[in-house]
Structure 1
Amino acid sequence: MKRNSHDRAYMTPNEVAELLMVSPVTVRQWAQKGWVRAITTAGGHRRFLRQDVEQFARDRGMELISDGPPRVLVVDDNRSFARYLADLLANQSTSIDTETAHDGFDAGRKVLQFSPDIVLLDLKMPGMDGFSVCQQLKDDEITRHIRIIAMTGYYTPDNEARILTAGAEACLAKPFDKRVLLRVLGFEGGEERDGLSLDKGLDQHVM
């Protein structure tokens, strides 16, 4: 799994400047004026939450420089299935960074740490379920831009309608075809680098 400086939750002024294609001095001036939120460390250094920087850029129509492959967070309490999906996506010919979480609270923590572009979210989990996770992400202006694709082994039309109303783009019924998953995620056309296949291995991972 490849990681770079932009994958961290907090960014330095230089990293923000690189992302927005401006000078670090400009970034510091924006922070002083309160245009973009920043925190100050115990050592007196400014740090910027990545989501705040991205929202600042979107509000002003600024272009973000490409900063690496898309990031997908797989959230499922079935650890083997979550790892299997993450490995399958990471092994597509189109580079995809992946991370896993195994309950709703873990998902919230990983969203801040990993800054995913997409959350592949199981609906039925102990504690905070997928419906609650989706609602919280979409209610927060910092995370509402994240694409959410729901998945469930307990599909019903009511569950689908409920999660779509909460803000998910789609709801996949397990087991699902790999090609359907890649098409919904927007990665259609990729090939596995090491032979992993969702179609062949799904049954031994889905509960």
Structure 2
Amino acid sequence: MVSKPLSVGEVASILRVSKPSVLNWINSGALKAFTTYGGHHRIWPADLKTLIDKTGMDIEFEFVDERSHRILVIDDDPEYTNLLKQIVKSELPNVEVISTDDGYDALMRIGELRPQLMILDIRMPKLDGFKVLQLLTERKLDWHMKILVVSGFLDTETREALKNTVADVWTEKSTDAPSMITTIGTLLGGHLRENRRRVSAEPPLVPLKVQAERNLRSPTKFQFH
């Protein structure tokens, strides 16, 4: 049973058509696809099934769509990454956290992973956070992704520079679980519905494009639509 993104050749084989035919469907918008950082088209099984159904093709196609609510963490600090994973698993069990310590690797895989939230360390070896943000600006994503920038130390110069990037929120790294889960849950926004346990008098997360430094005392529970 198919579960991973398919190449143009694999789709052509399933549909018993030529690769140019598949590319024509992609270019016309009839078949939804994403492009890897290497420039190759990939098609999610559910999107292929949509094409099969719409065109009335007599083709049996079974699949499992593995797309889920995902967070992509790009950070070279394994302790912080593991802490994030533990917190998200505890408070947002239906959210998958995928991590890498390499900005290049993240950019190569982002089209396949299609995360709803990227958590990016601004200071990393190989490819720093600012370069990742610049490359994301140059690349057109066909899905909505929020970007949370974290750093062990955010000086005034760094904060000012972040205002001119595609980052949505930036904050100093924190080990405070309630604060972290509130920030993450709020940024996931439309992908989550707040549980009624949230205290209505609690102030919302700071607006986009400003620092998100809060020390909330109680965790916020979220559930999916």
Higher relative contact order (CA 8 A, sep 6+): 1
Distance 1:93 1:146, change over 3 A: closer
Q: Secondary structure at the match of 1:126?
A: coil
Shift of 1:88: 2.1
Assess if the C-alpha contact under 8 Å between 2:42 and 2:112 holds in 1: no
Corresponding residue number in structure 1 for 2:131: 132
Q: 1:166 to 1:10 in 2, by over 3 A?
A: farther
Aligned equivalent of 2:89: 90
Q: Does 1:32 align with 2:24?
A: yes
Tell me which stretches of 4 or more aligned residues in structure 1 moved more than 3 Å: 8-13, 28-31, 36-39, 47-50, 66-69, 187-191
> What TM-score do you get using the length of structure 1 for normalisation?
0.59
Cα gap change, 1:178/1:10 in structure 2, threshold over 3 Å: closer, same or farther? farther
Q: Please, which runs of 5 or more residues in structure 1 have no aligned partner?
A: 14-27, 40-46, 54-65, 192-198, 200-207
Cα–Cα, structure 1 residues 165 and 69, in superposed 2: closer, same or farther, change >3 Å? Answer: same
Distance 1:165 1:180, change over 3 A: farther
Task: Give the greater-gyration-radius structure (CA).
Answer: 2
Letter in 2 for 1:5: S
What is the one-letter code of the residue matched to 2:162? I
Alpha-carbon distance between aligned partners in 2 of 1:98 and 1:129, rounded to the nearest angstrom: 21
Query: Matched residues in 1 for 2:143 and 2:68: separation?
Result: 20
Q: Percent identity?
A: 20
In the TM superposition, what are the counterparts of 1:153-172 in structure 2 within 5 Å? 153-172=152-171
Instruction: Please state if 1:48 is matched with 2:77.
Output: no
**5+ residue gaps, structure 2:** 12-19, 35-40, 48-64, 187-193, 198-215, 217-225
Report the CA distance between 1:133 and its aligned residue: 0.7
SS in 1 for 2:150: strand
Secondary structure of 2:109 counterpart: helix
**AA at the equivalent of 1:118:** L
**Displacement of 1:79 after TM fit?**
1.9
Question: Amino acid of the residue matched to residue 104 of structure 2?
Answer: F
**Which residue number in structure 1 is paired with residue 3 of structure 2?**
5
- Aligned pairs (5 A) from 1:1-207: 5=3, 8=5, 31-32=23-24, 34-36=27-29, 48-49=42-43, 69-142=68-141, 145-175=144-174, 177-186=176-185
Structure 1 73/38 Cα, relative in aligned 2: closer, same or farther at 3 Å? closer
Give the 3-state SS of the residue equivalent to 2:119 in structure 1.
strand
Instruction: Confirm or deny: 8 A CA contact 1:170 1:184 kept in the other structure.
Output: no
Q: Which amino acid aligns with 1:120?
A: I
Q: State how far apart, in whole Å, the 1-side matches of 2:28 and 2:151 are.
A: 41
**DSSP-derived class of the 1:91 partner:** helix
